[in-house]
């Protein structure tokens, strides 16, 4: 990670560094300078439903236009929709999404895609960050006589929806009853309309964004209301997206959570049985549940573990020639369909398996045994290398010794927030709680406010 960029772009509280209008303008300039060196290309900008989205949209557009690049505004659209448009529309050099994903409305962020629809690699990110932080951008802008213009893309969201629908031509989801939680975010219009046209019996929740209610007690991080509605309506499945709809968390007909790891296991095993699991390989991160590794090993599927962050998963998928990967948090990537994680596509893949097999989600999820796992987030005032804090190292070592290979401990910082994440897996819930509490208390004592 750099000075501005975290695990997934730039992210912070809106109007605080680095998420200021000034940084957004400089980012627009930097993208134009970096990606449009030899011709007059285009930059596409989309956003989720946050109040501050308009401000950053205009700042980014102004920066890009000041360097002679035309900007096309897609409006409110899921993050993967911008990746799709970037790789399919002519002369697009970059796509930008203004979103802080699953964070509260006060936060915002800038996610960047190249013209091929893939997120930035570390080297490219570092080069762009260097340009953003330069103090002499204005001297480059002075030389531009033909500034760019701003255009609207009125059919951006519907074009993206049509692309998704075409992934499973002829599939009819009639007979499946679903509750969909759109988190008052970017999927609020796209997802319900799309699934209804595909025959799904849909009950929708949280589709009335007001700029401040995105992710507020709803979406993939807060599924309680969706669980109640699934049980109340006797639905077959519940599908919850996050604010920019690149994540999915599902629940079965009894309201029990089916995690990202479980969805990956269901899809990977299904694809292998159909002969479509390219290179017989799945890529996930070090945060994946141990039960996923056991499931894949039992099914004879190769398992590669990447750094945390869906773009790292993607990079390792490309290297390995894999087509299925993702994170337990709900980012699922189907590389034979799209260049980035996509919550709506993930839902589509899962629904297609339900329809094709006639099995319930509860039954399908049994392919993987979930090890007891707890994750606690601790607010921290600084982020020193964990290995340099002896008190934390000692308590981690003690827990690992007691687990003796029957579980694992992972302590890492959030790449987008001032948090330290303590994750423990152990044979029992009680033992898991004990180790999480011990390590979390020490993190609070040494690094907390």
Q: Which of 52, 66, 99, 101 is catalytic?
A: 101
CB-based contacts of 367: which residues, under 8 Å, 6+ apart? 262, 265, 266, 269, 295
Residue 204, beta-bridge partner list: 180
Residue indicated by tokens 């001032």 = 418
Taking the C-alpha atoms of residue 419 and residue 439, their distance in angstroms, rounded to an integer, is 14
Half-sphere exposure at residue 210, Cβ-oriented, CA atoms within 13 angstroms = 4
Supply 255's token pair. Answer: 């309201």
Query: Could you tell me if 75 and 47 are in contact, meaning their C-beta atoms sit under 8 angstroms apart?
Result: yes
CB-based contacts of 110: which residues, under 8 Å, 6+ apart? 9, 10, 11, 19, 24, 27, 56, 60, 96, 97, 98
CA 360 to chain centre: 26
Residue 350, beta-bridge partner list: none
Query: Could you tell me if 173 and 351 are in contact, meaning their C-beta atoms sit under 8 angstroms apart?
Result: yes
Using DSSP, state whether 359 is helix, strand or coil: coil
CA 179 to chain centre: 21
CB-based contacts of 273: which residues, under 8 Å, 6+ apart? none
H or E segment and range at residue 442? helix 429-447
101 is catalytic: yes
Helical ranges in 184-289 per DSSP H: 190-197, 224-233, 260-274
Report phi then psi at 313, rounded to 5. -60, -45
Residue indicated by tokens 């894999």 = 322
Using DSSP, state whether 377 is helix, strand or coil: strand
Taking the C-alpha atoms of residue 6 and residue 421, their distance in angstroms, rounded to an integer, is 15
**What residues are labeled active site?**
101
């Amino acid at each position: 990670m750099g000075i501005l960029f975290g695990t997934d772009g730039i992210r912070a509280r809106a109007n605080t560094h680095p998420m200021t209008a000034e940084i957004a303008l400089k980012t627009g300039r930097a993208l134009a300078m970096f990606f449009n060196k030899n011709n007059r290309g285009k930059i596409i900008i989309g956003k989720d439903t946050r109040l501050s989205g308009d401000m950053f949209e205009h700042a980014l557009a102004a920066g890009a236009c000041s360097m002679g690049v035309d900007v096309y505004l897609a409006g409110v659209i899921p993050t993967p929709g911008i990746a799709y448009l970037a790789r399919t529309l002519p002369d697009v050099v970059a796509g930008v999404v203004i979103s802080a994903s699953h964070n509260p409305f006060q936060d915002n962020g800038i996610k960047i895609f190249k013209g091929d629809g893939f997120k930035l690699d570390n080297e490219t990110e570092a080069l762009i960050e260097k340009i953003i932080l330069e103090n002499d951008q204005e001297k480059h802008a002075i030389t531009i006589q033909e500034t760019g213009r701003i255009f609207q893309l009125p059919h951006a969201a519907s074009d993206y929806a049509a692309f998704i629908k075409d992934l499973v031509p002829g599939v009819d989801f009639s007979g499946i009853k679903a509750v969909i939680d759109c988190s008052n975010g970017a999927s609020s219009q796209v997802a319900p309309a799309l699934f209804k046209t595909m025959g799904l019996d849909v009950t929708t929740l949280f589709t009335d964004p007001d700029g401040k209610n995105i992710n507020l007690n709803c979406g993939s991080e807060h599924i309680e209301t969706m669980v109640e509605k699934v049980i109340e309506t006797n639905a077959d499945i519940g599908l919850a997206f996050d604010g920019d709809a690149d994540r999915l968390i599902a629940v079965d007909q009894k309201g029990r959570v089916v995690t990202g790891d479980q969805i990956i296991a269901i899809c990977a095993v299904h694809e292998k049985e159909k002969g479509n699991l390219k290179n017989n390989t799945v890529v996930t991160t070090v945060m994946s549940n141990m039960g996923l590794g056991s499931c894949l090993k039992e099914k004879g599927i190769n398992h590669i573990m990447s750094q945390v962050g869906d773009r790292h998963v993607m990079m390792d998928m490309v290297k390995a020639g894999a087509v299925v990967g993702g994170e337990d948090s709900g980012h699922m990537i189907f590389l034979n369909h799209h260049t980035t994680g996509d919550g709506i596509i993930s839902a589509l893949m899962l629904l297609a398996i339900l329809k094709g097999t006639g099995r319930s989600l509860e039954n399908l999820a049994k392919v993987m045994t979930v090890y007891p796992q707890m994750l606690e987030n601790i607010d921290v005032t600084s982020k020193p290398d964990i290995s340099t804090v002896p008190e934390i190292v000692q308590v981690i070592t003690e827990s690992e010794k007691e687990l003796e290979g029957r579980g694992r401990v992972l302590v890492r910082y959030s790449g987008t927030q001032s948090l330290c994440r303590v994750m423990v897996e152990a044979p029992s819930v009680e033992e898991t709680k004990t180790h999480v509490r011990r390590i979390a208390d020490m993190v609070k004592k040494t690094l907390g406010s």
